[in-house]
Amino acid sequence: MLKDKIVLITGASAGIGEACAHSFAREGCRLILAARRLEKLEELAAALKTGHGADCHTIELDVRDRKKVNAAMEGLPTEWADIDILINNAGLSRGLDKVHEALHTDWEDMIDTNVKGLLWISRAVMPGMVERDNGHVINIGSIAGRQVYPGGNVYCATKYAVRALTQGMRIDLLGTKVRCSSVDPGMVETEFSEVRFHGDKERAHQAYQNFPPLKAEDIAETVLFCATRPPHVNIHEVLIMPQDQAAVYASHPRGIGKDL
Ligand code: NDP
Ligand code: 8X3
């Protein structure tokens, strides 16, 4: 069903984006891998070639830079230009501080990446989908787009924005065959916490010790599920949580390594 489809994944150099690359490569897709760390993308592309025979095109890209996003999309080689699936995954959190104490640079990172970056890429890619009357935009939201938690303020605001944008895109695309979905995870063990805590590995590690978190692969398989429904089906949104996490602030402290 997905054989030879062109899939653009933002934030493919780690975590959920990298896992999506593996899942879609396994299904025979051609992958455009975008992120700032080109070296990681090239390692991934080589692994996907070896593991799945996948054809990959890597792009060093900071989604915050609108001009570079436009140039990168306009500069795609012809054989990569007709993107079938866009996975808007690049995103991050910075800090867990109160609004009256936080760093404005952290806010800029989150808003510029999670909201504006998603918009720049979507604005560059979606016109081709609409013109071809074919495509699928899959946004990675979060439980943080549905519940606000202490210190979550601006990160949550960006993910509430992603949820609103998914709903808005879906309405805008009505009458076309372009689909739009959002996959909203609870806690997933990736580089996310290390980035949130500005590289503090110990604090990041602690974040995943209370109960078994989701794995990046769980989210990738959910994204794949959305992308493989028949054409008359549009999955609007999927909320996926660890078994031990009922809400951001309601979890069961089972510990790690104990059977569920
Ligand atoms: P990771 O930190 O493991 O991966 C984030 C990815 O985003 C990296 O590939 C990073 O690549 C990329 N990225 C960050 N900033 C930019 C940028 N300015 N331009 C291009 N790429 C960028 O985190 P996750 O995999 O966990 O996060 C992926 C998405 O999932 C995010 O949108 C996050 O909000 C969301 N999410 C995560 C959850 C979790 O618990 N982990 C739960 C719910 C949602 P590079 O640094 O090379 O640019
Ligand atoms: C990431 C999940 O709970 O840290 O979106 O906000 S959480």
Cβ–ligand 1 contact at 145 (below 6 Å): no
Query: Does pTM top 0.95 for this prediction?
Result: yes
pLDDT at 258: 76
In the chain the domains, ranked by start, together with CATH numbers, are 6-251 (3.40.50.720)
Compute, in angstroms, the gap from residue 142 CA to the centroid of ligand 2: 6
26 in Cβ contact with 4 (< 8 Å): no
pLDDT at 98: 98
Compute, in angstroms, the gap from residue 174 CA to the centroid of ligand 2: 30
Of 125, 140, 115, which Cα lies nearest the Cα of 32? 125
Question: CB-side exposure of 116: number of CA atoms within 13 Å?
Answer: 13
Cβ–ligand 2 contact at 220 (below 6 Å): no
pLDDT at 260: 78
Of 84, 89, 123, 103, which Cα lies nearest the Cα of 17? 89
Spatial distance between the Cα atoms of 235 and 256, rounded to a whole number of angstroms: 32
Those residues of the chain that have pLDDT short of 70 are: none
Q: Is 121 helix (H, G, I), strand (E, B) or coil?
A: helix
Cβ–ligand 1 contact at 63 (below 6 Å): yes
pLDDT at 108: 98
Compute, in angstroms, the gap from residue 133 CA to the centroid of ligand 2: 34
pLDDT at 257: 82
Spatial distance between the Cα atoms of 90 and 179, rounded to a whole number of angstroms: 20
Cβ–ligand 1 contact at 192 (below 6 Å): yes
Cβ–ligand 2 contact at 248 (below 6 Å): yes
pLDDT at 259: 74
Spatial distance between the Cα atoms of 227 and 31, rounded to a whole number of angstroms: 14
User: Active-site residue 155, yes or no?
Assistant: yes
pLDDT at 165: 98
Substitution site in 118, 139, 140, 142 for ligand 2 pocket (most atoms within 8 Å of beta carbon): 142
Spatial distance between the Cα atoms of 106 and 166, rounded to a whole number of angstroms: 24
